[in-house]
Copies of this chain bind each other. A is one copy, B any other.
Amino acid sequence: MERININSSKRNELIDITAKISRLVEKSGIQNGLCFLYVPHTTAGITINESADPAVKNDLIKKLSELVPENNKYSHTEGNADSHIKSSLIGCSVIVPIENNSLALGTWQGIFFCEFDGPRARSVLFKAIEC
């Protein structure tokens, strides 16, 4: 298992980690298989979406904050109940197929670490199998 370190700089932020994951896939030597990414945090997530236009990630952040506002009479008193809820809506793991020693992402797809309670030092766990 490999661990990718990420430093977020805002409370809500989508960070493109595609290049980091691609390098780990290359290094693994796996020609055809599956890549598994796991976020060991409860106020963050991981998603795959368009990486070409940064407006897409900003729209996602804005909509999530509309649906799950920072202040909303929550029971959890640490001021980040919204961050926990966003984490469960987005999810903390993704799988991506590997083809010819590369991520089989679609043309417009990138992999984003989703920070919902930054800035913080974070990590993503990486596993890959040949299959």
Contacts and interface: CB of A to CB of B under 8 A. Distances in A.
What DSSP secondary structure best describes chain A's contact surface? mixed
Contacts of A48: 42, 88, 92
A85 interface: yes
Given A67-B67, A93-B95, A105 B55 contact: no
A121 interface: no
B63 A68 contact: yes
Nearest to A40: B106
A80 B36 CA distance: 28
Interface in A12-61: 32, 34, 36, 38-42, 47-50, 53, 55-56, 58-60
A125 B97 contact: yes
B109 A40 contact: yes
A71 interface: no
